[in-house]
Amino acid sequence: MGRKSNLPKEYLEKGGPGRPKGVPNKVTRCMKAQTWKVFEALDADPKTSLEEIAKKNPIWFYTVFSSKIIPKDVNLRVIQTVDDLTDEEQASLLADLELRLGK
pLDDT digits (tens, 9 = 90+) for 23-74: 878 888 889 899 899 888 888 888 888 888 888 988 888 888 777 777 777 7
This prediction has a pTM of 0.37
Which comes out higher in pLDDT, residue 89 or 1?
89
At residue 72, the pLDDT reads 72
Q: Into how many domains does the chain fold?
A: 1
Within a domain: residue 48?
A: yes
In a domain, 9, yes or no: no
Domain membership of residue 10 (yes or no) is: no
Q: Does 11 reside within a domain?
A: no
DSSP string, the chain: -PPP--S-HHHHS-----SPTTPPPHHHHHHHHHHHHHHHHHHHSTTT-HHHHHHH-HHHIIIIIIHHHS-S---------GGGS-HHHHHHHHHHHHHHHT-
Highest mean pLDDT among 17-21, 75-79, 97-101: 97-101
**Per the domain annotation, does 1 fall within a domain?**
no
95 in a structural domain:
yes
Is residue 16 included in any domain, yes or no?
no
Where in the sequence is the domain holding 90, given as residue range(s)?
23-101
